[in-house]
Amino acid sequence: MSEKLDLNEIRQEITLLDQDLLALLAKRRALTLSVAKSKVQQIRPIRDQQREQELLIRLIKQGKILGLDAHYVTSVFQTIIEDSVLNQQAYLQTLANPDIQVPTVSVAFLGDKGSYSYLASHRYFSRRAEKIIESGCQRFSDILHQVESGQVDYGMLPIENTSSGSINEVYDLLQHTNLFIVGEITQPIEHCLLTSVNTSLDKIKTIYAHGQPFTQCSNFLDKQTGIRIEYCDSTADAMAQVAKLQDETIAVIGSEEGGHLYQLHALEHSIANQIENHSRFILVARKAIDVAEQIPAKTAIILSTGQKSGALVECLLVLKQKGINMCKLESRPIQGRPWEEMFYIDVEANLKSFALQEAINEMTPHTNFIKVLGCYPIEHISPTSVPSSAL
């Protein structure tokens, strides 16, 4: 007769193991800062992808001996490596910009607690500050005004989404501000249909949401009949209203994580048109920052060429000749100047690099206006690939 298993004892043992894992992860993270200090002394780049690949291959082999799946081991340690790289980058940035190393920061964002901008702000500063003073705003222009006037240190603005594209209003506002882009973060957008009470999809008659989620979930909404759409200033505002109404016929589009802050639960998961749905946010401040040379950087430039034939092409050719990769090109009309456009260009290069300085100097004669919006670390960490033979 087999021995009876005590579920509570097993769970207690798992809980103790989880605590040990957390303690080891914290110890590992602390050691990565020592690695960063060593790299600073030796002027070595933060990432060593050959070393990362060798590490993953070794761990996969050890995992197989312990009966662990190779893909599982790879996924876990790619996340650990990403955290290590981002923490080392954050450390180097405090050395390059001593004045940004403060325990408390204030940040303005769209909406209130639970909005995607709120979540992005907390994610961005989780490794950079001990405390965040939040300032929710109803409009993008209010965010810029709060930073410009000194009411807050930073402003978090969504700039593009993989489903609905560029957020034109933000690009237009960047034409007229003296603020600088000092950071970026890509936030997973996991749209759910949230409700405040137990209900079913066939009972829903009204759905609240910000305009962007409605656009990004159009396929799901098209399948629903007799649904009234209620537009709100932000996702957080929509969730707050639905939480207050406590009505089984009303739902809201938002994230499950944000919904928890309003005691909402998910009626439907993953309702966005694209399964892989992400928004890229930029962080703006009154003062530009320096980016340590060991960190991959991105520089944002705006320029106008008037109506000079071929001028934009000449500017882009300069970037190509200098070996500078352009990762974004956006155009927006210039108010009050018919048929003229402002071009926004993101390049993967450090503003302090000789190549980019030369490129800007050579581009300038082809423009009637050119300005650097900011240089900042590239936040996205591409996972190191593992040879198929190792899996």
Tens-place pLDDT, residues 358-391: 999 999 999 999 999 999 999 888 888 888 877 7
pLDDT of residue 181: 98
- CB contact at 8 A, 221 and 292: no
pLDDT of residue 45: 87
d(CA 266, CA 249): 14
Tens-place pLDDT, residues 301-338: 999 997 778 899 999 999 999 999 999 999 998 877 77
Which pair of tokens denotes residue 4?
A: 């009876």
Which range of residues forms the domain containing residue 241?
191-268
Are 140 and 89 part of one and the same domain?
A: no
Are 223 and 185 part of one and the same domain?
A: no
Percentage of the chain surpassing pLDDT 70?
99
Q: How many domains does the chain have?
A: 4
When pLDDT is averaged across residues 338-358 and rounded to a whole number, the result is 93
User: pLDDT tier at 41 (50, 70, 90 boundaries)?
Assistant: confident
Residues sharing a CB contact under 8 Å with residue 205, sequence separation 6 or more, in sequence order: 226, 227, 228, 249, 250
Look at residue 222 and tell me whether its pLDDT is greater than 70: yes
Tens-place pLDDT, residues 171-204: 999 999 999 999 999 998 899 999 999 999 999 9
Which pair of tokens denotes residue 47?
A: 């990432």
Three-state secondary-structure class, residue 5? coil
Tens-place pLDDT, residues 47-98: 889 999 999 999 999 999 999 999 999 999 999 999 999 999 989 998 999 8
Q: Is the CA virtual torsion 328, 329, 331, 334 positive or negative?
A: positive
Residue 12 maps to a domain: no
DSSP secondary structure letters along 134-179: EEEESSHHHHHHHHHTTSSSEEEEEEEETTTEE-HHHHHHHTT---
- Of 284 and 103, which is predicted with more confidence? 284
Are 165 and 218 part of one and the same domain?
A: no
Residues sharing a CB contact under 8 Å with residue 370, sequence separation 6 or more, in sequence order: 301, 302, 303, 360, 363, 364
When pLDDT is averaged across residues 220-227 and rounded to a whole number, the result is 91
Are 198 and 242 part of one and the same domain?
A: yes
Residue 19 maps to a domain: no
- Nearest to residue 331, comparing CAs of 363, 304, 294, 306? 304
Tell me the residue ranges of DSSP E strands in the chain: 104-110, 131-137, 154-161, 165-166, 180-188, 191-195, 206-209, 228-231, 250-255, 265-268, 278-285, 297-304, 325-333, 341-348, 369-377
**DSSP designation for 203:** G
User: pLDDT tier at 2 (50, 70, 90 boundaries)?
Assistant: low
Look at residue 1 and tell me whether its pLDDT is greater than 70: no
pLDDT of residue 296: 92
Angle subtended at Cα 148 by Cα 144 and Cα 152, rounded to the nearest 5 degrees = 85
d(CA 239, CA 295): 38
- The pTM is what? 0.86
Q: What integer best gives the mean pLDDT of the chain?
A: 92
CATH, residue 79: 1.20.59.10
Three-state secondary-structure class, residue 348? strand
Percentages helix, strand, coil for the chain, rounded to the nearest 5? Answer: 40, 25, 30
Look at residue 3 and tell me whether its pLDDT is greater than 80: no
Are 150 and 220 part of one and the same domain?
A: no
Q: How far lies 153's CA from each of 33, 60, 144, in Å?
A: 26, 44, 11
44: number of Cβ within 10 Å = 13
Are 89 and 124 part of one and the same domain?
A: no
